[in-house]
Amino acid sequence: MKIFCVGRNYADHAKELGNDVDLKEPIIFLKPKSALLGKNVPFHYPSFTNELHYECEIVLRICKNGRYIQETDAYKYYDALSTGIDFTARDLQKQLKAKGLPWEKSKAFDDSAAIGKWLAFSPNKKLQNPFQFSLKKNNKIVQQGNTADMIFSFDKIIANISIYFSVNIGDIIFTGTPAGVGECLVGDVLEAFIEQEKMLGITIK
């Protein structure tokens, strides 16, 4: 199982971090399987960071093996979606980027990929788009996104990934975060929603 992640897929988020938004193709990075936070497993604040950030995203579940997938056929390759939180050690990421070093340590550490319950649908029918999603921290909305604002659509993302990597049944794709990322502290409660339906709840330990 592979965890693909897309960076800078919402222009407002890229701008809030001072990043370029004039992209020709999606920015793709991966997390290892060990990054997946288990069900009913608490999330513990990592010891190597003093600036842990939440990034709420829509997550897709791959249901079919493939490579070199055409964008027009990409909708056949995923059959469920959820919300996820891409936890980021922002201080560590800044340090590594400043030195021109890879920053996987800040993004791909154990338990850094939290995923909510899956909403399943038929992979032979195109998903109804767009829709809204949001994140609450301590019962206050801190992030709101709409899939209409993505720079690269779900289908464009899958088609692009499949040029470089095979996609396999059970792989998951974090499709990017909107503006509003911020710090979370021990004791914070994070809740992610698709429209009005709660998908994920996490307490930082």
Q: What is the CATH number of the domain that holds 57?
A: 3.90.850.10
pLDDT tens track for 114-156 = 999 999 987 666 677 789 999 999 999 999 999 999 999 999 9
Q: Which domain holds residue 191?
A: 3-36+45-203
Mean predicted lDDT score pLDDT of the chain: 93
Q: Which helix (H) or strand (E) holds 178?
A: none
User: What pLDDT is recorded for position 12?
Assistant: 73
Q: Do residues 50 and 93 lie in contact, with contact meaning Cβ atoms separated by under 8 Å? A: no
How far, rounded to the nearest angstrom, does the alpha carbon of residue 156 sit from its chain's CA centroid? 16
pLDDT at residue 45 tops 80: yes
Alpha helices by DSSP H, 18-174: 90-98, 104-107, 154-164
Q: Give the dihedral of Cα atoms 177, 114, 143, 198; nearest 10 deg.
A: 130
Count structural domains, the chain: 1
User: What pLDDT is recorded for position 190?
Assistant: 97
pLDDT at residue 13 tops 60: no
Instruction: Quickly state the pLDDT bin for 21 (edges 50, 70, 90).
Output: low
Residue 127 in tokens: 């998903």
Is the pTM higher than 0.75? The answer reads yes
Residues constituting the chain: 205
What span, in angstroms and rounded, lies between the C-alpha atoms of 187 and 204?
Answer: 5
